[in-house]
Structures are given as structure tokens and as C-alpha cells.
Amino acid sequence: MQGKVAIITGGARGIGEAIAKKLAAAGANLILWDVLEDAATETASRLAGEYGVKCKGVAVDVTDADAVENAVKAAVDEFGCVDVFVNNAGITRDGLLLRMKEEDWDLVLKINLKGTFLCTKAVGRFMCKARKGSIVNIASVVGIMGNAGQANYSASKAGVIGLTKTSAKEFASRGVRVNAVAPGYIRTAMTDKLSEEVRTTMLGFIPLGEFGSPDDVADAVAFLAGDASRYITGQVLKVDGGMVM
């Protein structure tokens, strides 16, 4: 990754920040997109200091097509190219399907799926012209197996998997690879909120017997982003302790 340029959406915190650290440690220069400018710039300047790479934080809402297009152009102008793009920004608005509000369905699909489409379109155009690049989409195992209470989220992540495979087929002849990472239960602020009872039940479904860490996801992303995976495209790599086989 030495000297390569990577953009990470939702890169200010959580799994996005762990991915940013992993790529920075491997020598990549970074551009972190997030909705809140302060969060993006604060994380970016911290990582630049810690890892000695160039790192910039930018306010970009992935659902805003113009903002996404302009931010890709600005990245190319300032950094010279984009080698790696990680579609990580995502949200949940959980609830049982029969009670799910239409606005919660729309918002989750808009950020998780349409946002991934808009970013893939904007950066894919540039990468195809450059005849190189690696796009990594963060899906979820619930996009494969479903999950009660997450109709909107699981549908959005299933959509991300379909989008990954189609864009991989469309971009392959231009030397651009597209893969997805599907995390299972990862220790984050989201899973820390679960009750002890729910956590114990969930652990029963995980053969390796523990929740994953943001670092586990970041390791898989770094592999798919870099040249070690040069012959891999259109794949969904599950990082779930063996939960879905």
C-alpha cells in the first residue's frame, strides 16, 4: 500500500477508522469522508500524526451525487489518483417489518445501497480510465442470511452484494476489482449496547466463540484492497467467526 491513495467513506470512527488505521500503517495516503466535517478532520489529523502519511478529512454525504462527484475530482486533483475506495458508510434503523416506518426503510436503503452506487459510479469512472483500482464494499452477513428486525438493513446489504458482483463484472476488463467484506457481529458501540442475554444467545451461533473486532474487518479490507488479492474480484469475504458457512 506504500504511497497508494485510499478513500474511506464513514471513515471518522468505528470500523471505518479501523480500516483507515490499517491502510495508513501499510503506508497508504488517505482521504476520509464523513457527514460531519469536524469528525473527519479530527480523525484525519490524528492518523497523519500517528502514521506519518498524508491524510485529509472531508465532509461528504454519500447520498449527495454532486458532492460525491466533486469529492472524487478533488481527491484526484490533490492526490494524483485514487487506488482504493472503501464503501463503509452505513446505518441501521431496526424494527420488525410489520411495524417498520417507510422513512426508516428509505433512509437505510438510501445511505447503505444508493450511497454505495453513487460512490462506485463516481470513482469507478475514474478508475476504469486509469485502468487500475480496487473497490471494497462493506456488506454484512445479514445480507446473506437475513435477520429478524432488520428488513431494511438486510435488504440494503443484500443489494450491496449484488452491486459488488455486477460492478466487478463490468469493471474487470479495465483492471478494476470490486469485492465485499461481510462482517458478522463486531464489537462496536452498536453491539456494546446489547443485553447480556442477547450477547450470550448470539455467541452460541459463532463457532469461534467470540465477537469480532473492527481490526478483524480492517485486516480483510486491507487484503482485498492490496495486490495480495490481485486475482480476486466479485467475492464476498465473510468475517464472522464461522457463523455463516
The residues assigned a catalytic role are 153
Nearest to 189 by CA among 211, 156, 204, 205: 211
Binding site residues, ligand NDP, CB under 6 A: 9-10, 12-16, 33-36, 39, 61-63, 88-91, 111, 115, 138, 140, 183, 185-186, 188-191
Nearer to ligand NDP, 175 or 204 (CB): 204
Nearer to ligand NDP, 28 or 239 (CB): 239
Smallest separation, CB 97 to ligand NDP (Å): 18
Strand partners, 55: 30
The cell 441501521 sits on which residue? Answer: 92
Smallest separation, CB 174 to ligand NDP (Å): 26
Nearer to ligand NDP, 10 or 133 (CB): 10
Smallest separation, CB 60 to ligand NDP (Å): 6
Smallest separation, CB 131 to ligand NDP (Å): 28
